[in-house]
Amino acid sequence: MRIRLLVAAAIAMSAGALPMAAQTHKAPHWKYEGKEGPAYWGSLDASYSACSAGKEQSPIDLGGPVAVARGALDERFTGSTFVLFHNGHTVQAALDQASTLTLEGIPFKSLQFHFHHPSEHTVKGKAFPAELHLVHKGAKGTLAVLGIFFSESTADNPALEPLLARLPVVAGDSVKFDSPISIGTLLGAKEGNENFFLYHGSLTTPPCTEGVQWVVRERPVQASRRQLQRLIKVLGENARPVQPLNARH
Which distant-in-sequence residues (6+ apart) come within 8 Å of 88 by Cβ? Answer: 171, 172
121 is catalytic: no
| Cis check: omega of the bond before 118, within 30 degrees of 0 | yes
β-strand pairing of 68-71 with 130-138: unpaired
Type of residue found at 213: Q
Do the Cβ atoms of 116 and 238 come closer than 8 Å?
yes
Handedness of CA 145, 21, 100, 56 (dihedral sign): positive
What is the Cα–Cα distance from 3 to 102, expressed in whole angstroms?
9
What is the Cα–Cα distance from 53 to 64, expressed in whole angstroms?
24
Catalytic option among 25, 29, 86, 89: 89
Do the Cβ atoms of 231 and 115 come closer than 8 Å?
yes
Task: Print burial letters for 49-78: b (CB count within 10 Å at least 16), e (below 16).
Answer: bbbeebebbbbbbbbeebeebebebbbebb
What is the Cα–Cα distance from 100 to 109, expressed in whole angstroms?
5
- Hey, how many other C-beta atoms are within 10 angstroms of the C-beta on 85? 20
Question: What are the catalytic residues?
Answer: 89
